[in-house]
Structures are given as C-alpha cells and as structure tokens.
Amino acid sequence: MQTIANGPGNWAYVIGPYREPVATVQPGETFAVETADAFENRIDSPDADITKLIVMPFVNPLAGPIYVDGAEKGDTLAVTIHSIDVTRDYGVSALIPEFGGLCGTVFTRTLNPPLPPRVMLHPISDGEVTFSEQLDIPTIPYEPFYGTIGTAPELEAVSSLSPGFHGGNMDAADVAPGNTVHLPVNVPGAMLHVGDGHAAQGDAEVCGVATEIPTRGVFTVDLIKGRPIATPRVESDDFIMTIGSARPMEDAARIAFYELVMWLEADYGIERLMAYQLCSQVARVRLANMVDILYSVVAKFPRRYLPRVAA
C-alpha cells in the first residue's frame, strides 16, 4: 500500500492547481496519508510560546496535492476514510490571540485587548482523550476526523485555513472513518489535499482549535464520472450530508440546505418543494466551525426517510 507524506519543509499551505503533485493514485486504490498537526508538530510543552512557534499564514499544513489518475473537470471525487490513527500520545489545543469565536479577530475588530496565548497538551491513550488532569471530569472519546480535505479550484489557490466550495478547512466532524466524502473535480487529477487531524472537537470549534494531532489515515478514492457537484457532500450509514461555507453563517446554512434539497430531487426522486418541506421536518444541522475565514454548516438528512426502492 502506497504511503504519501510531504514531510517537513514541503507542506502545502494552499489548495490550488499550481503545485506539482507529490503522488499519484488510481481510482479504486487504497493508500495511506501521513499528516502533521496544525502546528507542524512543533508544540511539545504547555510552556511553549505559540506566538513564536507559528507564523501566519503558515499553519494548518496539508499533505498533497495527490493526483487522481483519470479525474477530469465535471467529475466527482469520492474519498472513503477507513481509519485515522494518531501518531503520538497527545493532542494540542491552544488559545491564539485574535483568533476564535468569542474574541476580537482580524475580521471582527474590537478595542478589547487580544486574549492571552495558552497551550494545553491532552494525553491520548486507550481510545480516550484527557482534557485536563486538574479537572474532575470524564475523559473525552477519541473520535478522529480530518478538519481539512479538498480538491483544487480551477483558478484560485485557497489558503489551507479557509473552507469553500472546493472543501478545505471545514472542520466538519463527519469527515470521519467509515464515511465517504464527495468533492468537486475542477482540474485534471482533482489535486486532493488532506490534513488538520483532530482527536476530538465540539461543534463550532469555538476557540478556534480542536485537539490537534498528527495522523496516519487510510483512504480509498473513486471517481463518479460526469456527475459534477457544487459543494462537498458526505455519506455515512445514517445520513446524507451537504456542507456550505460562507459568511454570514446563515448563508452557509442556506448553501448546505439548498444543495441537500437538490440532491434529494436529483438522486432520490423527491420533488424539489416536497424535499424542502421534508427537510423542515426531519433534517439535522451541525455548525462545523464559527472561527475560520468562512463559516461551515453541515445539513444532514436521515437515510431512514429516503424513499424505499421497490424490489
């Protein structure tokens, strides 16, 4: 099985069509990808000064681009995630000045002083994450996912910190083992990028940082030829999902629900306005992040309400 890893000094910090691929995979191929954490694995102590260890915008390093042989504009790339293993025994979280959902940022200007920087290390063992040994609380389940996964836009090179129609830094916890992520193909080879592994994250990633980890993930890619999609989709055993990214947050939700309604009509034969009403009764929604350059919202439709197929 092929293992893909960019390595120090060669991480991708944008998702775009201009960088040479680091590897090529075939449709139907299963392969492994090794990633660093969001801080390039530089933090190994709670005493670390994160303001000196990271230099914006060189954070959130990605593995890629990975060229998918035969992928053409107008196809959809289907990426099945089989497993995500953490490759050290702790995760990192932090407070970063002028970054987060409840503070002044470079986009939301206030006269209040920035929050002080802070680093926490979270031990990981036996499928559990210890948030703090000073708090008498249960451990957090190890529920890994990739905060960032995307394909290259046709023209732009988009920061690895930003989500968009190409995917990117969506921080959607549904990009997890057992699920399949559908991404639009805009350029030859699709140019897949992966990174930003998380061991655990609450919805919205409110302080801007989850439990950040380096990973080894195992994937299979497939192509859906001639079936374009406008924004990322995810399939699990229980839900079909669409992801919208925008500002303000309600526009992210509108994108996600619009694409969900269109998917229900196109693939499941539910008339558009009926699908709209049905979503209002049974759909679920996840605020994936409220901290990035754009916000991301996941609209989720339970499979048990999809029309039954006659035998």
| 143 is a domain residue | yes
Per-residue tens of pLDDT for the chain, all 311 residues: 999 998 888 999 999 999 999 999 999 999 999 999 999 999 999 999 999 988 888 889 999 999 999 999 999 999 999 999 999 999 999 999 989 999 988 888 899 999 999 999 999 999 999 999 999 999 999 999 999 999 999 999 999 999 999 999 999 999 999 999 999 999 999 999 999 999 999 999 999 999 999 999 999 999 999 999 999 999 999 999 999 999 999 999 999 999 999 999 999 999 999 999 999 999 999 999 999 899 999 999 999 999 986 44
- Backbone region of residue 190 per phi and psi (left: phi > 0; alpha: psi in -120 to 50; beta: other values): left
How many folded domains does the chain comprise?
1
Residue 4 lies in a domain: no
Q: How many residues can be counted in the chain?
A: 311
Q: Please report, for the domain that includes residue 86, its CATH number.
A: 2.60.120.580
- Is residue 1 situated within a structural domain? no
β-bridge partners, 68: 25
Residues 6+ apart with CB under 8 A from 91: 37, 121, 122, 124, 129, 198, 199, 200, 211, 212, 213
> Phi and psi (nearest 5°) for 303?
-60, -30
Quote the domain boundaries for residue 80. Answer: 26-303
In a domain, 5, yes or no: no
Q: Please check whether residue 310 lies inside any domain of the structure.
A: no
